[in-house]
Amino acid sequence: MTKILVTGAAGFIGFHVAKALLEKDHIVVGFDNMNPYYSVKLKDARLELLSKYPNFHFYKLDISDNDAVEKAWKKEASLTKVINLAAQAGVRYSIQDPFPYVTSNLMGFTVILEKCRRQSDFKHLVYASTSSIYGSNKELPFSESQKTDAPISFYAATKKANELMAQSYSHLYHFPITGLRLFTVYGPWGRPDMSIFKFTKAILNDEPIDVFNNGQMARDFTYIDDIVQGILAALEKPIIPKADQLHPIYNLGNKGRESLLTFIEVLEKSIGKKAIKNFLPLQDGDILETQSDIKMAEKNLGYNPKTSISEGISNFVDWYKSYYHSER
């Protein structure tokens, strides 16, 4: 039984990671500021489920608040494994309002890095980066060796900054840090600002869905259970890079690429209803296509995504219907 800090534990991915760890009888310390970027009710409902596990210790705090983090860290006595998922997510919102990205992704991550490096017996920090950092790279699939120095959204810029910040800490303080570039994660308990959630809601309510770039986009949609498997596998593989080597960074995707229109078709089938499509131009910050090369994660982590989009979408739709049917 290990004690693991999961930041962003009330968030979509943090909730699933925390739950998986609790199921394995670990002690999970959760941090989350419960910000209203999207429904706090949904975050509360996730926390309600986690709180059923006696090994779950939750702190409502902002990771950019050094004193609050310090206090909780001390109270938990020994935090030696950390999964940092707390961040301001969302490509489009980062163009509207960049400031929460600076607070959570830059200041917040700095606080976490500092706490980790000051913990004497610290074992491993795993943090979330994103496929968005590949920007307008044309060569598919995206592999970790490609250049990522031309982000096309402020969100991606802050995540690229996270990778550089982690690299400097890895170099200076020699403790294990692993970065994970996640590719469009979806599944039950997902984020209301993501397309699958918005589309499902609109289709069920007979409202139109906004289809950007006239549907000429493609994504490597990755099911949440596969991502959780990858994150937990990464946590088990702490590596201190040799001098002049970079800290490990892995793509976690599904190694496929589905066009947005195919994704909508599968969703329509799963819901049993056609979407009313409102075709719109490409939005600033949006990448046209993503596809992951996951060979490194397969080889070094035993990462093995298995969920097809039809299975994953159907699980999402089932969850959505039952959650909003029973919603208070």
Please report whether residue 184 would count as binding ligand NAD according to CB under 6 A: yes
257-287 exposure pattern, b = at least 16 Cβ within 10 A, e = fewer: bbebeebbebbeebbeeebeeeeeeeeebeb
Q: Is 10 in the site for ligand NAD (CB under 6 A)?
A: yes
Task: Tell me the torsion sign for CA atoms 28, 32, 38, 40.
Answer: positive
Helices vs. strands in the chain: H and E counts, helices first: 12, 13
Question: Is 32 one of the binding residues for ligand NAD (CB under 6 A)?
Answer: yes
Q: What string of DSSP letters covers 169-203? A: HHHHH---EEEEEE--EE-TT--TTSHHHHHHHHH
Given the rule CB under 6 A, which of 7-15, 72-80, 205-213, 301-309 is the region that contacts ligand NAD? 7-15
Alpha-carbon Rg for the chain, nearest whole angstrom, is 19
> How far apart are CB 7 and ligand NAD at their closest, in Å?
6
Q: Per CB under 6 A, which of residues 96..125 are in contact with ligand NAD?
A: 104, 108
**Catalytic pick among 155, 186, 223, 320:** 155
Scanning 11-19, 228-236, 239-247, 308-316 for contacts with ligand NAD by CB under 6 A, the matching segment is 11-19
Residue (8 or 176) nearer to ligand NAD, CB: 8
What is the identity of the amino acid at 70? E
Nearest residue relative to ligand NAD (C-beta):
11
Query: Does 126 sit near ligand NAD (CB under 6 A)?
Result: no
Query: By CB under 6 A, which span of 57-65, 113-121, 199-207, 282-290 interacts with ligand NAD?
Result: 57-65
Q: Copy the structure tokens of residue 196.
A: 């699958």
Scanning residues 185 to 224, which ones bind ligand NAD (CB under 6 A)?
185, 191
In the stretch 263-302, what mask flags binding to ligand NAD with x, by CB under 6 A?
Answer: ----------------------------------------
Catalogue the E-assigned strands of the chain.
3-7, 27-32, 56-60, 81-84, 124-130, 177-182, 185-186, 208-211, 218-219, 222-223, 249-252, 258-259, 276-279
Pairing of strands 124-130, 177-182: parallel
The verdict on whether 155 is a catalytic residue reads yes
Among 5, 33, 218, 234, binds ligand NAD (CB under 6 A): 33
* Footprint of ligand NAD (CB under 6 A): 8, 10-14, 31-35, 43, 62-64, 85-89, 104, 108, 128, 130, 182, 184-185, 191
Active-site residue list: 155
